[in-house]
Amino acid sequence: MKTNYPNLTKAVCATIKSKFSQIDNKDEWHLNPADLKTSFRSDIQISKNSDNLLCIEIEEAQPHPDTNVTKYWQFLEANPQTRITLIQIFGRGFMETDNNYASRMQLCKFVANKLEVMYPHRFKYVWQKFVYPSEYYMHHSEEIAYLIVDIIRKELSR
């Protein structure tokens, strides 16, 4: 699915990285390059240490966003000492009225809920959706990034 606005993920990630120093508790956390210990990647990765990760996936045009949840299952299996909080953010491309994308979002939640049961102290899932007109994304990616920073603050303070 092609979007008609600039790469929201890139703009939001750049803003979050520039504002990371303003996040409370950030002294214990580190903004990492966007890769896990393996070839798996996340849009943004923040770590407390090598075994405690907060990963952010921003979905703006991913045709199968459930793969951005499922890949953490394999990672958890391979790294039994690691804890992951996954924040998955859906942008304009995922309208709830589109049955294909609504079912894919439901599949993300389903897989994540199963992972939370399988790994109760090692996996946490946070789902967030932002639905704004395309023009808003084009001119307000920094404001959206601040909303995401608020989510990060909340998760890091736990």
**Per-residue pLDDT averaged across 71-84, rounded?**
92
Domain count for the chain, please give it.
Answer: 1
* Closest to 122 in 3D by CA, of 76, 153, 67: 76
Whether 99 is covered by a domain: the verdict is: yes
pLDDT digits (tens, 9 = 90+) for 21-57: 666 555 666 776 555 555 567 888 888 777 888 888 8
CA-CA-CA-CA torsion for 30, 58, 19, 158, nearest 10 degrees? -60
Whether 120 is covered by a domain: the verdict is: yes
Whether 2 is covered by a domain: the verdict is: no
Can you give the pTM of this predicted structure?
0.79
pLDDT digits (tens, 9 = 90+) for 131-153: 665 556 556 667 777 777 777 77
Whether 3 is covered by a domain: the verdict is: no
Whether 78 is covered by a domain: the verdict is: yes
Whether 6 is covered by a domain: the verdict is: no
Number of other CB atoms surrounding residue 86 within 10 Å: 23
Higher pLDDT, 99 or 106: 106
CB 148 within 8 A of CB 23: no
Whether 144 is covered by a domain: the verdict is: yes
Domain of residue 88 covers: 11-51+58-156
Whether 4 is covered by a domain: the verdict is: no
